[in-house]
């Protein structure tokens, strides 16, 4: 005779549930993998063969031009925040203004052609989401950049970071095991490229698997009525998607496929909140920011990103 717990499990994990879970999980992985691979390869090329001195040389001093320049870097050089944060630390030590560096960190993972193509593919039946994502992200980073330019006057790097050697070839760090070593020998650079690519692919891949797993569980086992109640709420939908984006910590080249699975349950505005907030701030990037910047500055950045994305998404939702 079956126990009550066994009966409950059998009623909860039905064949239909498991089949739906498998279908959603595998489809999310397969759709996102090509974009992750492309992003990783381009990121590794830039990390290995494009020195930060090239970017630093062209950095403008005018605040507005500086913010636009940081956005342009993101468009031309698609990289994940894991690779951006260590580079930005060195650029700040070399004299890059903090607001430009932060705009580079939060704009780069969204404002690039790979992310746009991935979003367009994920929302092929609703392409306005892809264009809205780019436009909303651009507005958010401009607002945050201008605010930081006014508020932050002191170097926000942690004390230990301020006393480092400023010679990049001696700057060996282990943030996220990205192996950002500077070699002069071409064969060493090629080896570094493959090491960086494999490391970043598996790093991003595990977050994709975790994100797809949690998304499939939510879609299959959470009652549709509950999802609709949250997803159609004017504020609850945005808060839910911000929290989900923060926890999942999915790479911006694949998060659109997760967001698209919520199209029938959540409003377009809340989906945009997920797509803009996640690449700018998640659990993984918060830990990396805290390892480089002072806690007070990280808290300021968290507050700015969260409030700006939420307010702009709510306003954008009224427009579209």
Burial of 6 per CB tally in 10 Å (0-12, 13-18, 19+) = exposed
The secondary element (H helix, E strand) that includes residue 217 is helix 186-221
Phi, psi (degrees; rounded to nearest 5) at 247 = -75, -45
List the Cα angle 196/198/201 in 5-degree steps: 100
Distance CA 2, CA 44 (A): 55
DSSP one-letter code for 226 = H
With both helix axes pointing from N to C terminus, report the angle between 236-248 and 268-280 in degrees, rounded to the nearest 10.
30
pLDDT of residue 22: 82
Residue-level pLDDT, tens digit, the chain, 320 residues: 455 554 444 545 577 778 878 887 887 787 667 766 776 776 667 667 766 666 667 778 788 888 888 888 777 766 666 566 666 776 777 677 888 888 888 888 898 888 999 999 999 999 999 999 999 999 999 999 999 999 988 888 876 555 444 444 444 344 344 444 444 466 777 787 777 677 767 766 776 677 778 777 777 777 667 777 888 888 999 999 998 888 887 878 788 988 998 888 899 999 999 999 999 998 878 877 887 889 999 999 999 999 999 999 999 988 87
pLDDT of residue 7: 47
pLDDT of residue 174: 45
DSSP one-letter code for 114 = H
pLDDT of residue 172: 39
pLDDT of residue 199: 75
pLDDT of residue 306: 96
Distance CA 44, CA 113 (A): 16
């Amino acid at each position: 005779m079956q126990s009550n717990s066994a009966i409950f499990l059998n009623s909860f994990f039905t064949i239909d549930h498991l089949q739906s879970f498998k279908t959603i999980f595998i489809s999310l992985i397969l759709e996102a993998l090509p974009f992750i691979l492309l992003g990783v390869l381009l990121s590794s090329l830039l990390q290995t063969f494009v020195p930060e001195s090239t970017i630093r040389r062209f950095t403008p001093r005018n605040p507005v031009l500086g913010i636009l320049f940081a956005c342009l870097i993101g468009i031309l050089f698609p990289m994940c925040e894991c690779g951006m944060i260590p580079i930005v630390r060195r650029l700040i030590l070399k004299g890059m203004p903090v607001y430009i560096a932060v705009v580079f960190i939060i704009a780069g993972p969204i404002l690039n052609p790979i992310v746009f193509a991935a979003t367009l593919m994920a929302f092929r039946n609703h392409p306005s989401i892809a264009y809205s994502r780019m436009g909303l992200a651009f507005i958010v980073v401009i607002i945050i950049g201008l605010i930081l330019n006014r508020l932050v006057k002191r170097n926000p790097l942690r004390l230990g970071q301020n006393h480092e050697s400023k010679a990049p070839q001696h700057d060996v760090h282990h943030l996220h095991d990205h192996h950002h070593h500077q070699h002069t020998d071409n064969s060493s650079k090629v080896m570094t490229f493959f090491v960086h690519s494999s490391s970043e692919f598996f790093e991003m891949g595990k977050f994709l698997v975790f994100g797809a797993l949690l998304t499939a569980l939510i879609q299959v086992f959470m009652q549709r009525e509950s999802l609709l109640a949250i997803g159609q709420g004017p504020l609850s939908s945005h808060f839910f998607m911000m929290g989900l984006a923060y926890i999942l910590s999915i790479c911006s080249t694949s998060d659109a496929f997760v967001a698209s699975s919520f199209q029938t349950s959540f409003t377009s505005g809340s989906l945009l909140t997920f797509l803009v907030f996640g690449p700018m701030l998640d659990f993984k990037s918060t830990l990396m920011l805290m390892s480089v910047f002072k806690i007070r500055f990280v808290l300021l950045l968290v507050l700015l990103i969260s409030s700006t994305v939420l307010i702009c998404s709510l306003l954008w939702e009224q427009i579209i």
